Structure 1
Amino acid sequence: MSETAAEDTASGTGESVIELFQLPKAELHLHIEGTLEPGLAFELAHRNRVTLPFGSVEDLASRYRFENLRGFLDLYYTTMAVLRTEDDFADLARAYLGRAKAQGVRHAEVFFDLQAHLRRGVPAEAVVDGLSAALAEAEHDAGITGGLILCFLRDLPVADADAALTAAMPRVDRLLGVGLDSAELGHPPGPFAPVFRRAREAGLRAVAHAGEEAPAAYIQEALDTLGVERVDHGIRAVDDPRLIERLVTGRVPLTVCPLSNVRLKTVGSLREHPLPELMDLGVVVTVNSDDPAYFGGYVADNFLALSREAGLTLRAAERLARNSIAASFVTPGRAASLIAEVDRWAHAVRDRPPGRPAAGPPY
């Protein structure tokens, strides 16, 4: 770690726990299906008379251990079978947004895998309307803004992605953007260029998973062929200095998911994570939770783990929170409001007496 990065990531203390949870932040890399906790999975299975291949909530929870991305995806799609109705998707999003509020999330851009639901016979409107209803409630009741990003499954044919976009078009006004996810190796971004072009023509923003398992070349390809504005994961960018220069010059954000990277073994540990190096190089890095029910924590839990295991300081956490707002697709007015919340948090943290954690929310 260079001297500059070390300065921002010196050892954190237990007193920073409250502040990290209170830190106002945007979450930009969150798969709503990946927030399905074992208890809710069984509750929805009972509601919909779906039989899960697990003996109990505890049995399912014990399966949340993976050797790789493929192993995770197999369980992810199995538990997803309990999601059938608009109410199911609304309840799923409500549960996430409740946890997100407690972890300082003020804006959430939520991924959903429409193709996986369409293939089970669930209509697009049930998915979009349920998720949208929960987001609207969160904005009204908790002041959490957000939006939906329809992710295409890269390990399915391009025609399937195009059909999903067609199915979503009657609800396009409720979508923020499109993305690309699922198993990355052997599934480069380029073939999906026509679908992304069509989405952009409909006024949708564009993001894509790249450079998590696959090499930095996938990041370059996503930028060149899909026209993405943000790269999800993107940690392999550290392997290509010219790509780093492009990301820094173009202010292209990376939505990094530290606990996910460790759980899926794309990095060995948080101490080995390239996030400090990316920050030091000037990349606009954000911290997110990916699939928190499966990967050991929600977004503030990721901040806390970085503090405890990689020495992330409150000053560096503040920088990451500001990055998350800059990297989001919020309006300029909402961005200014969120930055003001971070400013108040920062002042409260800096002004409190040494050794004493903040007594309550500083905003």
Structure 2
Amino acid sequence: MFKSVRHHEGLIYITLGNFVGATLTGIFWLLLATLQDVHEYGQLNYIIAIASLSSSISLLGLNTAVTTLVPQGHKQIDIQANQVILISATVCAIIVSLFNWLLGLFVMGMAFWMMSSYELLSRKLYSKYAINIIGARASQLVLSIILYSFFGIPGIIVGFIISFFVFSVTYFKTIPQFSKRFDKIRKEFKLSLHLYSYNLSNALLLYFDKLIIAPIYGYTILGYYQLGFQFLMFFSMISVSFYQYLIPEESSGRNRNRIRLYGIALSIIITIFVFVLAPVILQTFFPNYINSLSSIRILSLGIIPMMITGTLNSKFLAMKLTRYVLFSSIIYQVTQMVLIIVLGRQFGIQGISLSVVIAMIFQITFLGIAHFRLGKKNEQIN
């Protein structure tokens, strides 16, 4: 297994970038948990969720569209995509600025940074991608903690903003090539629309739950839940790495089914690891967050379906069968939104956490059935 993975240098770089980036992000949020009380921790996550979700909305699916289409030989589409992002990010930034003017800069910076990172992926510059991710996350960690000690929560936001803009060099380099042409984007509008639905679903997975939990259950409940969610996000970077690697590889016509199996096996091992060691980790490092134990254990079960979903979606996207990605995203989001309210009121933090895992299971069930039927159809044709 490991000998085979070593032959895929790109996967190693992507995994390294995402894993180290996730480690730095995890350290940042876990360190903040020791510096802030549970209520303030929940409040900060609520604010960051608003800005991050707004930035994800502004991307319009163009980040993944670039990653999918550039390896297939589509020229100038990355330039035109960046033109659109400048407009959409500005609009979203203006709207969010009505809530907090700093968040407007956050939205634009994050959008530019994301487009920079995905363009590096599309050109298979995997080592530069890793540097871009690690550099941004490392500077966020250092700057935000330092500025927090002087300015509180606004200092943390400023730390994010500076880091995003500094590591958006790839995006800024394309600005001199901007024009009034959008013909390439218009031709791929349908693909971008479906990718947008999928990407937005992922963004909602990361952020929308906080926008529901905080108003209904309060910042304290959100603080306890979010600590558990950070564990899921940390280890989910493995599945994200496989997903990001498989899209450009399979878009180029390469078969990577064995890599998929390795990813699923790895996710099972990680799930067992987190479930068993969660009590020890909490009691040792976060005794004040002991109420997060059940959340961590439940959410750790989501690592496996996240891996399966990512690998299946990468295959559908490479084949431009985006309708399956779109429908699965809708299934996930509707299920999650309903269950957060229903199970949350009934079982508290445990119910909120369980709603995420159940929604993932519904999603992979649909994708699995679609993949099976597609395989049968191809067999009949051949």
TM-score, normalising length: structure 1: 0.27
TM-score (norm 2): 0.26
Larger fraction in helix? 2
Larger relative CO (CA 8 A, sep 6+): 1 or 2? 1
